[in-house]
Amino acid sequence: MTYKSGFIAIIGRPNAGKSTLLNALLREKVAIMSDKPNTTRNNIAGILTQKDAQFVFVDTPGIHKPQQQLGRVLNKNAYMAMEDCDCLAWIVDGTQPFGKGDSFILERIQSLHKPCFLLVNKIDHLSKENMIKVLMDWQNKYDFHAIIPISALKKENLHELLQVLKQALPEGMAMYPQEMISDHDENFQTTEIIREKILFVTKEEIPHSVAVVLENRRMEGSRLHLQAMIIVDRDSQKGILIGKQGSMIKKIRLAAQKELKEKFGCPVDLELYVRVEKNWRNKEQKIKEFGLDELNDD
Ligand SMILES: Nc1nc2c(ncn2[C@@H]2O[C@H](COP(=O)(O)OP(=O)(O)OP(=O)(O)O)[C@@H](O)[C@H]2O)c(=O)[nH]1
């Protein structure tokens, strides 16, 4: 039997469903998800090992028109994954018309000369007639390796997707141990879970202005003690995040603590602090310090 293995970059515009797809394929939450654009900031590998193949999916930040230095770094993270992969899985929101953002991504794909699969997502929101129309429209845009309609949320057509992707993977040995499902450690997952809870309860500019840094992690008997710093880029945001008599930060803390307890299988005490780092999203050094630049190897 020939074994296949390779890297598949999951790319697309913000909110297309990249992280939802990664988690659905792995049947495990490896990447956080939200209805806010640009939830994903780092490239996150999710590893799926089967008896005849190992898929290394790389979830990437949504490619968008950047307003700040952070946006430029996030796009760069996605471009890096596109360069480094064996094939591309471009995921689009099937309920949205083809737009400027799509042309921009398409141009980049054309320049790479790699097999590119188009995944038309959110088909659970489309009638059969509409879905056929959307698929035909996309067929005229580029010579895709295959066009596959899916619903990441409802896990529709994912088995078929894996079969088609497997054929395009290069022959080769597994690159990661079979029990490994992500390339990110528990500290990264901890800060991401906290950030997800913040995204859930905040709106407008706050979700984009927040970074989370783990300051301390230690076991005290059977309890895991975690201290994390939430960074915002304006004083007013600090007030909103803390909330009236600390009500907002408490909500975030309890939601994160609950998920962390389930994840690590032990009682968790989480302490959260909020610090203002003015305009950090335009400061390269801060972006690196908060671990958001994939090229940073300090
Ligand atoms: N109806 C429907 N909603 C979906 C589907 N897939 C994802 N979504 C929703 O779309 C939103 C964005 O999903 P994400 O997986 O966070 O999107 P993303 O592409 O990773 O987003 P960024 O991190 O911003 O680039 C969430 O509210 C998801 O629940 C789908 O198949 N059907």
**Over the stretch 21-68, which tens digit does the pLDDT of each residue have?**
999 999 999 999 999 999 999 999 999 999 999 999 999 999 999 999
The pLDDT confidence band at residue 298, using thresholds 50, 70 and 90, is very low
pLDDT of 152 above 60: yes
pLDDT of 75 above 80: yes
Sign of CA dihedral 52, 160, 92, 90: positive
Question: Tokens 């203002």 identify what position?
Answer: 276
The model's pTM: 0.96
Q: What is the pLDDT of residue 295?
A: 81
The pLDDT confidence band at residue 296, using thresholds 50, 70 and 90, is low
pLDDT of 6 above 60: yes
Residue 146 sits in the same domain as residue 55: yes
Nearest to 109 by CA among 70, 64, 141: 141
Atom 26 in ligand 1: residue holding the nearest Cα: 35
Q: What is the pLDDT of residue 246?
A: 96
The span from the CA of 238 to the CA of 103, in Å, is 38
Give the tokens for residue 94. 């099937």
The pLDDT tens digits of the residues spanning 201-259 come to 999 889 999 999 999 999 999 999 999 999 999 999 999 999 999 999 999 999 999 99
The span from the CA of 283 to the CA of 285, in Å, is 5
283: domain range? 186-289
The pLDDT confidence band at residue 1, using thresholds 50, 70 and 90, is confident
Residue 163 sits in the same domain as residue 200: no
Residue 111 sits in the same domain as residue 155: yes
Average pLDDT value over all residues in the chain: 96
For residue 158, being part of any structural domain is answered with: yes
Residue 234 sits in the same domain as residue 86: no
Residue 146 sits in the same domain as residue 205: no
List Cβ neighbours of 140 (8 Å cut-off, separation of 6 or more).
none
Which percentage of the chain shows pLDDT scores above 90? 97
Residue 116 sits in the same domain as residue 216: no
Cα end-to-end distance, the chain, whole Å: 42
Q: What is the pLDDT of residue 297?
A: 52
Q: How far is the CA of 153 from the centre of ligand 1 (A)?
A: 8
Structural domain count, the chain: 2
For residue 294, being part of any structural domain is answered with: no
Residue 153 sits in the same domain as residue 265: no
Which of 15, 38, 64, 292 to mutate for ligand 1's pocket (most ligand atoms within 8 Å of CB)? Answer: 15
Which residue, 136, 168, 200, sits at the end of a domain?
A: 168
The span from the CA of 130 to the CA of 136, in Å, is 10
Give the tokens for residue 274. 């909020």
Binding site residue list = 12-19, 59-63, 121-124
Nearest to 25 by CA among 129, 194, 163: 163
Residue 164 sits in the same domain as residue 79: yes
Q: What is the CATH number of the domain that holds 250?
A: 3.30.300.20
Which of 29, 33, 196 to mutate for ligand 1's pocket (most ligand atoms within 8 Å of CB)? Answer: 33
For residue 16, being part of any structural domain is answered with: yes
